[in-house]
Structure 1
Amino acid sequence: MNRIEIGKALAQARKEKQLTQREVQKLTNINKSTLSEIENGKFTGSLDILERYAHYLDYELAVVPRASSKSRLPRWDEVNELFSEDS
């Protein structure tokens, strides 16, 4: 996910909660121009601020491997093999 996608997701979450940026500003102590930058994908500031906004909207920031990464989810037979040793 890039900054624009994160911003769109957070803006959508805020709107679904029927909150204005001004209301969020008062409740999170994040200034309105920063909220606008986040929602428009232009925020380059502190991760703490982005995390505070995300948490307020019941979102969690996470680092996950890219789909194109060599990391992959295990196949079903690999998962079964891992847990078969427990039985």
Structure 2
Amino acid sequence: MGQNIREIREKRGYSQDELAVIMEVNRSTISKIENGKFSFSIDYLSKFSFFLDFDLTLLDNKI
């Protein structure tokens, strides 16, 4: 799932640093999520969905 989030972030033109500032988290958190090294909650998924402007169902087939 982290790889999917990375692809969406990159398509939207955000760096990890930029997204971290917008989401008010550390850049290392973004990196860990994208690399599958961080277990995250639905709250994080909701934040990604909101800030990157995508429907969570896009991830449904890949979870």
- In the aligned structure 2, how far is the partner of 1:53 from the partner of 1:33? 15
Could you list the runs of 4 or more consecutive aligned residues of structure 1 that deviate by over 4 angstroms after TM superposition?
Answer: none
How far does residue 58 in structure 1 lie from its aligned partner after superposition? 1.9
Higher relative contact order (CA 8 A, sep 6+): 2
Which amino acid in the other structure matches residue 61 of structure 1?
Answer: L
| Fraction of identical pairs, as percent | 34
| Structure showing the higher helix proportion among its residues | 2
Whole-angstrom distance in 2 between the partners of 1:42 and 1:60:
23
Task: Give the RMSD, CA atoms, in angstroms.
Answer: 2.2
1:29 partnered with 2:24? yes
The question of 1:39 aligning with 2:42 is answered no
1:1-87 matched pairs, under 5 angstroms: 6-61=1-56
Counting matched residue pairs gives 60
SS at structure 1 position matched to 2:17: helix
Preserved CA contact (<8 Å) 1:10 1:54: no
TM-score scaled to structure 2, two decimals?
0.72
Structure 1: segments with no counterpart, 5+ residues: 1-5, 65-87
| Structure of greater Rg | 1
User: Unaligned 5+ residue runs, structure 2?
Assistant: none
TM-score by length of 1: 0.56
| Alignment check: 8 A CA contact 2:33 2:40 kept | no
